[in-house]
Structure 1
């Protein structure tokens, strides 16, 4: 059931499924605690995955009943408390993923029984104490990620700790020792009978910086894929595992860049969603000149930004980029889902504050991921702040054309500010015009331009390529609802009155949502959970009508 939009809590009654071998609930919008009835389902022997949700509370001690389980993955949630000592009873574990939570305390000694484990990831938690030496005795262990915790003291050097490509300990500032390739400071020693006292730690350039410089060929212009107000983004290939990444390097000479880095780290530390850009690691270090260096390393998005697809350059390669109606719908729903999660499903409500096409990135499957949280703001809990507004004025935060009017008048940061930006983005996606287009002057805005055309003249303002779409009976849909044309289409083909009417109704519905979201008065705007529901209904209706029409045509052809 992974990769859907299931919400609410996991029902304990799943524990009645006594023959389950695999249970995968990952990448949904599930919340609440993990039921002990589910985590203790002893029939599970292959995999239990609940990753990338918003689950809270502790990992129940009943996890120790999974004695035959090979894979346990609860990463990317908001789980807290200590790692249960009963986890040591899961002696069949090959893969253990606890990363991206808020686990605290030590790694329990009972895990010494997991001698067949091949990969362990407990990164991005609040674990502390010494790193157990027994991990170095696990002969099957190939990958160990302990990064971004609060471990201290000397790092072991045996077993997995002797393999620099197999172990990661970044972001543990109290660690020392280890093999030289890990570039940790030398452990301090006191010499009781020496006048030298405490030995000074060895000064080194931290390996995170060195690996990023190597991966981007010294941050060369050939690898530059974009730049913004606070820095530049480079394509890189990590030498440790060959992963292609995007490295955002902050321009620390720019006023506010350091604060932007801190704010983005805070925002990304506790959020996980399939439509948010996944940050692999952060680097706060010094470069080879001794200057301060800060960067964020994220997944590389094969298809670039939404801006590149909506407004391609005039070169031949860019002209091949054209988003179909369904692709635009899918992207718009992805973005809405991300904002809905930030506004309503995070432990603390987050306002993005800078939503625009260049901050929406598309992966190889054209799934949209919202990125760049440098201006994001945390709001008080909804129970204490029903209107979800920040008590301090935001001023002009964001990008021209997408900033809600109330921000320009000293208004407060609110989720409805993001809703406004989304509305403008939606109008831009289906009209093909930027809100800063030269035509929008003398009081005319993209909102007014659209409002004057709807509903009777909506087809006059839509992006021209959408009018060229065909609905041929030999075309197919891929698994994402995108059309696969089985033969080339040359020029414009009259879609016929039924198809044209259906397209017009779909586009008018989309424009109405964009107009509602970008209303001047915040009280007139929709909330993002309502937007998600309406957008899904529009897409489902359009796809269902198209499929029914194809079935009717095929039925006629076989008579």
Structure 2
């Protein structure tokens, strides 16, 4: 009956259960004491009462079970002394008393009275006294875990005679107090344990020089914990012999010497912690060969030289190199730490600028580069680290302004940019940072007005001292009031002059605009083929160089996706302080230029809440004289619907799912966008390729239809019928989406989009790709009979999309 939610006290009537072999009530919510009547079940072999809330002592009657093999009382609130007769049940093989408040000593003859013992766990109790050497007599022992008690030394030097021993955990005791400083004979004996995997002697007051004998441990050795002792000497040079090492923790000791080059031979190493010692020299480049390393901590030593190129360690999640003497540049290869969560390079001698590649660490939560000699501007690419909670950059030589791109870092709890040479004003977007606990901008050259809202209303949440040009802010800052630009009278007089000038000018401009509009309308009627270009006065002018800088030279790191005619990149426009999406056409692909012109023509004629907003277009040449065409859109924070329905493996861990309400709202948004294109744009437009990857989601999950490369104007008049039929000769859209009316109706009609939207609905609400059946959404009820006869489709009527 384990792993339920049973509660209350155990029944006392056990006498009638005379044939019970095993009692398993573990992982419940039982309370009270263990009833002594449990001793009446003479047939009992296994007792599992672990992970409950039992209190009181272990009843003596438990020892009445002469044939008991397994006793598990772990994780309760048991107290008192373990009944001595319990240690005389010779059939016991597993004893688990972990996480209680039991006390007393272990019998000196424990290993003789429990000869069949395989596992003995009394972790996290209050046992005291010495470890009985007789444990070596229980030759079947596999696990000995007596950590976190009050045992004293010395450690028996005969434990190496246990041939099956795999785990020996003795940490967090005071084992070294009664030992001679260099008495490591017990460690030497463990070389004979050919199955040993884990040895834990942490926080045990051990003293003396680290013996070289540890390199002679069995090849099965996986974990060695010797941290928080008083061990000195150097790490053995042949540490690489332990090929199966996964965890090596030696931190907070007195170790000196250098990090052995053979450390790179530990190919399975996942955790290496040598922090808080006196280790010197350089970090060996061979450490890059530990390709499965997750955690590397070398902080608080005397390491020097440059930071090694750790680009082979793509698994690294936490890297701590703080408080050493490492110098030179922070390598650009930092981009390979794609899974890094915590990165601490503080209190070193790093110079140069901070690489913009830092923005590729999308999962970064804590970044600390404080107390170095970094120069240049703070990279705007840091805005890519949207999960950042702590960013510490104080005590450097940064200059320029606080990047406006920082407004994307809304998860920040701590931001410290103090003691640098930052100038200009305090960005107002900090007011919207609701999670921030402390913002430190002190000791810079900032000027202008200090905001009063948000975090700036609480003086304990920020510091801006020693910025002599600041003014305003809350009264507690005692800053001078910000100067007015002129007296009220002068301001009123100036305003009157402006009004007198602007009114006639505005009337003149309005008249001119009306005349121009009339002229353009008359001219547009005469033109049969309008030129597909953007109006100069409506769209921003951007050059190839502007887009090159915005996307970090079209870096693969910034690529959002790739399609038939080109690729889409994420960028940041400094001039607009805006994140953008840049669709760069591959002009060498057949049809790409035609697709570009089609998108220009469509996007210049449409504007709707559920259609992607175009910022501008660029038709130019690159620096090599090659043709360059690109479209610039607003950036959609939540990607495409395709990303949510069928996420990449990198997103699987994040459990990205759309709720039913979100799916419904997205479907309605798409329907409204398609309805606008068909019926409310100045000329009916057929998108021709509605699908999840072409539906983008903004920050509030409002859906926007994008990719108009296959869109066409609908031909409403009979004079255009021949052209319409010609356009339908080739089926357009994505392979797998073939509207049947192209074959049955012989002309292009809005049903092409309606059918694609039906398939989009099926994907949205099932979360699966359509294979044998799809949904046709038909507003006019004129295709049902044809479809039912021709195709194995299910039909859904939607009167109002």
TM-score range normalised by the length of the shorter chain: 0.3 to 0.5
Richer in helix (by share): 1
Report the structure number with the largest CA radius of gyration.
2
Structure 2-normalised TM-score? 0.32
